Structure 1
Amino acid sequence: MVFQGIDFHNVDSLVKQEQGYAMQRVPDWIRLQLNKSARDQVSFNGTGVELRFKIKSGEAVLHLKAEPGSEAMTAYIYYGSFQGGWQNSSKTIGTQETVLSIPGPEEPGILHRITRDCGLPFNPEVVRVVLPYGRCFFLGVEGEVEPPGPEDLPDRTYLAYGSSITHGSLALAPPCSYPFRIAQKLGCDYLNLGYAGSAFLEREMAEYIVSRKDWDFASVEMGINMLYGDFTVKQFEERVEAFVKVLSREERPVFATSIFRFNGSGAFQERAEVFREIVKNCAEGKLIFTDGTKLLDDPACISQDLIHPGIDGIYRIADRWSAVMKKYIQ
Structure 2
Amino acid sequence: MQTVPITLDLLRGALDLEPTARGFLPHRLPAWARAQYVDPQMDMVDSQPSGVRLVFRTAATEIELDTLPTKRDYTGAPPRPDGVYDVLVDGQLVTQLTAPDGDVITIDLMTGSAETRQGVPQTLRIDGLAAVPKTVEIWLPHDETTELVALRTDRPVEPVPSGGRVWLHHGSSISHGSNATHPTGTWPALVAAQAGVELVNLGFGGSAYLQPFLARTIRDTPADLISLKLGINIVNSDSLRLRTFTPGVHGFLDTIRDGHPDTPLVVVSSILCPIHEDTPGPTGWNLEALAAGEIAFTATGNPDDVPAGKLTLSVIRAELDRIIAQRALTDPNLHYLDGRTLYGEADNAAHPLRDDLHPDAETHRVMADRFTEYAFSPKGPFVSS
1:72 aligns to 2:79 (yes or no): no
How far did 1:225 drift? 0.8
RMSD: 2.4
1:289 aligns to 2:336 (yes or no): yes
Structure 2 match to 1:305: 355
TM-score in terms of structure 1 length: 0.85
Name the amino acid aligned to 1:60: I
Task: Note if contact 2:57-2:159 (Cα within 8 Å) is conserved in structure 1.
Answer: yes
Task: Note if contact 2:87-2:96 (Cα within 8 Å) is conserved in structure 1.
Answer: yes
**Residue ranges of structure 2 left out of the alignment (5+ in a row):** 73-79, 103-119, 281-298, 304-311
Q: 1:94 to 1:52 in 2, by over 3 A?
A: farther
Q: Distance in 1 between matches of 2:34 and 2:157?
A: 29
Q: Decide which of 10, 13, 18 is 2:16's aligned counterpart.
A: 13
**Residue ranges of structure 1 left out of the alignment (5+ in a row):** 109-123
Q: Distance in 2 between matches of 1:304 and 1:181?
A: 21
Q: 1:247 to 1:94 in 2, by over 3 A?
A: same
1:272 aligns to 2:313 (yes or no): yes
How far did 1:92 drift? 3.5
1:1-330 to structure 2, matched below 5 A, reads 3-4=5-6, 7-34=10-37, 36-37=39-40, 39-69=42-72, 70-84=80-94, 88-95=95-102, 96-103=120-127, 105-106=129-130, 125-133=134-142, 134-143=144-153, 144-150=155-161, 153-213=162-222, 215-233=223-241, 234-248=243-257, 250-264=261-275, 267-268=279-280, 271-284=312-325, 285=328, 286=331, 287-297=334-344, 298-299=347-348, 300-326=350-376, 327-328=380-381, 329-330=383-384
Q: Distance in 2 between matches of 1:315 and 1:295?
A: 10
Q: 1:26 to 1:245 in 2, by over 3 A?
A: same
Match of 2:314, SS state, is helix
How far did 1:186 drift? 0.8
| Percent of aligned pairs with the same amino acid | 24
Match of 2:215, SS state, is helix
Q: 1:30 to 1:104 in 2, by over 3 A?
A: farther
Task: Note if contact 1:247-1:254 (Cα within 8 Å) is conserved in structure 2.
Answer: no
Match of 2:233, SS state, is helix
Match of 1:283, SS state, is helix
Partner deviation per Cα, 1:42-81 (whole Å, 9 max, x = no partner): 2211111111223344312111121122332121111121
Q: Distance in 2 between matches of 1:241 and 1:194?
A: 20
Q: Distance in 2 between matches of 1:93 and 1:154?
A: 35
Q: 1:39 to 1:305 in 2, by over 3 A?
A: closer
Instruction: Give aligned pairs, total.
Output: 308
